[in-house]
Amino acid sequence: MKSVGIAYVLWFFFGVFGVHRFYCGRVGTGILWFLTAGLLGIGWLVDMFLIPAMVRECDREFLLFQHSSAVPRSGMPPPGLPVAETPRRHRVVFCTRCGSAMQVPAESTGSAYACPACGTVLRIPAEA
């Protein structure tokens, strides 16, 4: 997990070299910042406002990768994890902000879930 504070420190002292972008996993634009001195300083100033979003996106990608690598591609849980006795029903709901689909348990009516794409917290409506 990345820290917004560390990203700002890296931006302030080494931002024209793109170090904060490397820290947030944006290697391509980090190289561009390094070669162009932060787009001649303009990109460096703009990044002052973009850093929180860059850190959130980096953390979200890390959590999604960590979650997706927890269950092997075979669909079986890793050894040592409990296996559910009864299969759970799921349904698909769509984010009201970005429109992306997410799968939630069927009995989750009224529960709050965060959209994996944009992070919006959604209350799950009753099934129609």
Residue type, position 119, single letter: G
Sketch the domain layout of the chain as residue ranges.
4-69, 90-123
Residue type, position 75, single letter: G
DSSP-derived letter for residue 86 is S
The backbone torsions φ and ψ at residue 102, rounded to the nearest 5 degrees and listed phi first, read -145, 150
Contact 110, 124 (CB under 8 A): yes
Beta strands in 29-126 (DSSP E): 90-94, 101-105, 112-114, 121-123
**Could you list the pLDDT tens digit for every one of the 128 residues in the chain?**
899 999 999 999 999 999 999 999 999 999 999 999 999 999 999 999 999 999 998 888 887 776 655 544 555 555 555 555 555 677 888 888 888 888 888 787 888 888 888 888 888 887 76
Q: b/e per residue, 42-77, with b = 16+ CB within 10 A?
A: ebbeebeebbeebbebbbeeeeeeeeeeeeeeeeee
Q: How are beta strands 101-105 and 112-114 bridged, if at all?
A: unpaired
Q: Is 53 helix (H, G, I), strand (E, B) or coil?
A: helix
